[in-house]
């Protein structure tokens, strides 16, 4: 039987609707949650991501400001902009779109964002909180995936989870979140030996590699839950995930599509984190 396809768009719409009561609580205090989006340069993919995020803000009552900077912006100027946004009480969340131009050290910029306004959850304080199992802002993509798994009733306790990719924005936080839910977690990367042998053990397989159709049917355990994080542009202009969708759907039990899977959940989590940041800034209880 082909895999059930997980509708990320529908789940994301539910998640976006669930922030409404938070927006209303803020409105009762005459506060509008505000997100500042900083974009350096004119990378077309980044421009599309930023447009989607700004549209999602408008749809959910979050005010957003785009801070477009030239591609040759100096690191000091970008840091000044971040520090100015840290001080601005109308700005509750700051997002610096990655990747940054080569002359800028991403880690330095991320560290400059106030942890309370770090809606991406990439500040070392928030990543440290995740490692320690403390409250903090959780990166949007893995947080969105955990919500997808919960919504589908995917059992994690005692199951084998394999994360393909070890980036700080997806792979590593994903592994920590799965571990928190008592899965037995393996993280794979470009140096992993006998990769298919490892991935075939996975009850839950998360692919965040950045290579189109990298995960083949032979790499998937029959009935597994396969989460495709990848967004890859094919030569003909279409998008493809990291998973060979047509082949893997014949083997997996549950599968996310690209587009329409993890992507919309990531954007919805960003809105969730921005509203949460605004609620916490005025001492209100955060969202669930
Ligand atoms: P990244 O920083 O480039 O990391 C890719 C990871 O894949 C690295 O850990 C790399 O290993 C590993 N890898 C590369 N080739 C491999 C191979 N042949 N075998 C095994 N592992 C391999 O990418 P990322 O930022 O995590 O993003 C991954 C993908 O997800 C991209 O397509 C990105 O566009 C997409 N993405 C989507 C969303 C969304 O919302 N849908 C959000 C974020 C990212 P090494 O560490 O050894 O180099």
pLDDT digits (tens, 9 = 90+) for 75-120: 999 999 999 999 999 999 999 999 999 999 999 999 999 999 999 9
Q: How many CA atoms lie within 13 A of 77 on its CB side?
A: 13
| Ligand 1 centroid to residue 243 C-alpha, Å | 12
Confidence (pLDDT) at 89 = 97
- Give the ranges where the chain is alpha helix by DSSP (H): 8-18, 20-28, 44-60, 75-87, 106-112, 124-132, 140-151, 171-180, 195-199, 245-248, 262-281
Phi, psi for 223 (deg, rounded to 5)? 85, 0
232 lines ligand 1 (CB under 6 A): yes
pLDDT digits (tens, 9 = 90+) for 207-231: 999 999 999 999 999 999 999 999 9
145 lines ligand 1 (CB under 6 A): no
Q: Looking at residues 140-144, what average pLDDT do you find?
A: 98
Mutate to test the pocket of ligand 1, among 189, 216, 241 (most ligand atoms within 8 A of CB): 189
Query: What percentage of the chain reaches a pLDDT higher than 70?
Result: 100
170 lines ligand 1 (CB under 6 A): yes
Distance CA 81, CA 273 (A): 21
53 is catalytic: yes
Residue 270 three-state SS: helix
Confidence (pLDDT) at 249 = 98
Asked if residue 225 lies in contact with residue 205, where contact means CB atoms within 8 angstroms, the answer is yes
Instruction: Quote the mean pLDDT of the chain.
Output: 97
Instruction: Assess whether pLDDT exceeds 90 at residue 172.
Output: yes
120 is catalytic: yes
Q: Looking at residues 55-82, what average pLDDT do you find?
A: 98
Q: Please give the C-alpha separations between residue 27 and each of 30, 54, 61, 223, 282, in angstroms, as whole numbers.
A: 5, 20, 10, 46, 12
Work out the pLDDT band at 1, boundaries 50, 70, 90.
confident
| pTM for the full predicted model | 0.97
Q: Looking at residues 250-255, what average pLDDT do you find?
A: 98
Q: DSSP labels for 55-106?
A: HHHHHHT-EEEEEEE-TT--HHHHHHHHHHHHH-TT--EEEEPSSPPTTS-H
Work out the pLDDT band at 288, boundaries 50, 70, 90.
confident
């Amino acid at each position: 039987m082909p895999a059930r396809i997980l509708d990320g768009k529908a789940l994301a719409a539910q998640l976006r609707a669930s922030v409404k009561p938070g927006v209303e609580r803020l409105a009762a205090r005459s506060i509008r949650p505000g997100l500042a989006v900083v974009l350096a340069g004119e990378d077309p993919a980044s421009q599309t991501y930023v447009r989607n995020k700004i549209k999602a803000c408008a749809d959910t009552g979050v005010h957003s400001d785009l801070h477009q900077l030239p591609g040759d912006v100096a690191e000091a100027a970008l840091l000044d902009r971040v520090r100015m946004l840290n001080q601005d009480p109308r700005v509750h969340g700051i997002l610096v779109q990655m990747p940054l131009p080569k002359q800028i050290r991403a880690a330095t910029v991320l560290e400059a964002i106030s942890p309370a306004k770090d809606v991406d959850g990439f500040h070392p304080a928030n990543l440290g909180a995740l490692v320690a199992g403390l409250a903090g802002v959780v990166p949007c993509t893995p947080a969105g995936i955990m919500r997808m798994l919960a919504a589908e009733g995917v059992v994690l306790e005692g199951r084998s989870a394999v994360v393909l990719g070890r980036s700080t924005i997806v792979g590593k936080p994903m592994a920590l979140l799965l571990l928190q839910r008592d899965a037995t977690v393996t993280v794979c990367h470009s140096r992993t030996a006998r990769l298919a042998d490892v991935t075939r053990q996975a009850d839950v397989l998360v692919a965040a590699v950045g290579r189109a159709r990298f995960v083949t049917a032979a790499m998937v355990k029959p009935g597994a839950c396969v989460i495709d994080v990848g967004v890859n542009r094919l030569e003909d202009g279409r998008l493809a995930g990291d998973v060979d969708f047509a082949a893997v759907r014949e083997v997996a039990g549950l599968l996310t599509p690209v587009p329409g899977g993890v992507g919309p959940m990531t954007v919805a989590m960003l809105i969730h984190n921005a509203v949460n940041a605004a609620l916490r800034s005025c001492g209100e209880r955060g969202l669930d």
